[in-house]
Structure 1
Amino acid sequence: MKDLTDKQQAVLAFITTIIKERGFPPTIREIGDEFGITAKGAYDHLKAIEKKGYLKTAKNQSRAIELIRQSPMESIPVQATSIPVIGRVAAGLPIFADENIESYIPVPDEMAKGNVPMYALRVQGDSMIEVGIDSGDIAIIEKRDIARNGEIVVALIEDEATLKVYYKEQDQIRLEARNPKYKPIKTKKAIVIGKLVGLYRIY
């Protein structure tokens, strides 16, 4: 694989750091803002890095960046904590989230915030694909019962769990997909059981 330029190494290191901290990659706009360049300039850097074999990008998805090789500037091993994988989450139509533990997965200690309980749920469906969340991904969830507008949450609706973008309205909660073929879910009965803090994907 060809060597990276200094700027490409910096971009790749930034992407690696954000993935370690948040569990998912930055958007092209965030990369541009970090380096004071346009979105097109950021995209051009990504394509150049992709050609050198360090990452993959996908069209029409702002967060569709997959690391293949680690940045030479980020070669220190990451300490990890194991969290339980519990049931499944519907990214589309809600399905029942079984409280049985399926397995355990490691997450970086930077993502595990002290004593805050965390768990993981398996995503099923395509309603969140526009923010880079695909069917089969494992959603890393910080356990909580409150949320702010615009956050991606796990919400229970009559004992069924769904992963959606949360909005509190005057007399109801609106849960929005990030796929135009799905309509918002409007309900008074949704209970927030966690906030998305990262994704775990096996290739």
Structure 2
Amino acid sequence: MLTIRQQQILDFIRNFQAAQGVVPSIVEIQRHFKFRSPTTVTEHLNALEKKGAIQRRPRQARNIRILNMVDSLQSAISIPILGSIPAGMSEKPEGLPENSIAFDKTLLSVTQNSRLFGLDVRGDSMVGVGILDGDIVILEQGPEPRNGDIVAALIDGETTLKRYRIAEGHPVLQSENPAYLDLIPVRELMVQGIYRALIRVSGGKRRAN
């Protein structure tokens, strides 16, 4: 499974190639993401190549080739979008199916029988990990959360998207924005889904990120 940053870089390469007719250089990727060093770009590209997302031809400029662009169409699955979820202060969940979105299942580290669903993000409490207001998060229903997982959770009757932590033997929901306090359940905490992927909405169109 690609990390959020790896997916962002892959998406930038794809969009750049579609607009310019060539893939971006390492310097252009560095400038776009404001990395301090081109070495950081190289490390991300190495990871993308190891995961089979790209291929690079040695000793060539602009040597990135995105793999599986045709295969991804054949491996697309339909994921239902079940409403929105706050990434900020908790509020009542909407909980009603709205529509669905196609997603390449090869980008997800899930089994064939995994139960996946999407939620529109509302709020800015998860900006520290690149989850922004208006994004769509893809979640898996069923698995037990592990310490550090990003989860959609029902806490004391309200839903929210946060990082799941165990502190002194008790579950805590943490934001990725210092403006928000941790959420500690008073009565109940039920994890509804584990974060698996992100769809970024740009210019009214949804794109994998």
If the TM-score is normalised by the length of the shorter chain, which range does it land in? 0.5 to 0.7
The 3-state SS of whatever aligns with 2:67 is coil
Residue 207 of structure 2: aligned partner? none
The 3-state SS of whatever aligns with 2:102 is strand
Residue 130, structure 1, aligned to residue 106, structure 2: no
Residue 202, structure 1, aligned to residue 201, structure 2: yes
Residue 74, structure 1, aligned to residue 67, structure 2: yes
Q: For 2:154, which of 153, 156, 159 is the aligned residue?
A: 156
Cα distance in 1 for partners of 2:162, 2:34 equals: 22
How many residue pairs get aligned? The number is 155
Letter in 1 for 2:196: V
| Contact 1:140–1:197 (Cα < 8 Å) also in 2 | yes
CA offset at residue 171 of structure 1? 5.7
| Contact 1:151–1:166 (Cα < 8 Å) also in 2 | yes
Q: For 1:89, which of 85, 90, 94 is the aligned residue?
A: 85
The 3-state SS of whatever aligns with 2:29 is helix
Cα distance in 1 for partners of 2:34, 2:136 equals: 19
Cα distance in 2 for partners of 1:89, 1:160 equals: 10
CA distance 1:170–1:101, change in 2 (3 Å): same
| Contact 1:88–1:96 (Cα < 8 Å) also in 2 | no
Letter in 2 for 1:151: D
Aligned-residue RMSD, C-alpha: 2.8
Residue 120, structure 1, aligned to residue 118, structure 2: yes
Cα distance in 2 for partners of 1:58, 1:85 equals: 32
| Contact 1:155–1:191 (Cα < 8 Å) also in 2 | yes
Letter in 2 for 1:138: I
CA offset at residue 167 of structure 1? 1.1
**TM-score, normalising length from structure 1?**
0.67
The within-5 A match list for 1:147-186 is: 147-170=145-168, 172-186=170-184
CA offset at residue 173 of structure 1? 1.7
Which structure 1 segments of 5+ residues have no match?
1-20, 28-44
Residue 37 of structure 1: aligned partner? none
Residue 190 of structure 1: aligned partner? 189
Letter in 2 for 1:94: S
Cα distance in 2 for partners of 1:109, 1:166 equals: 25
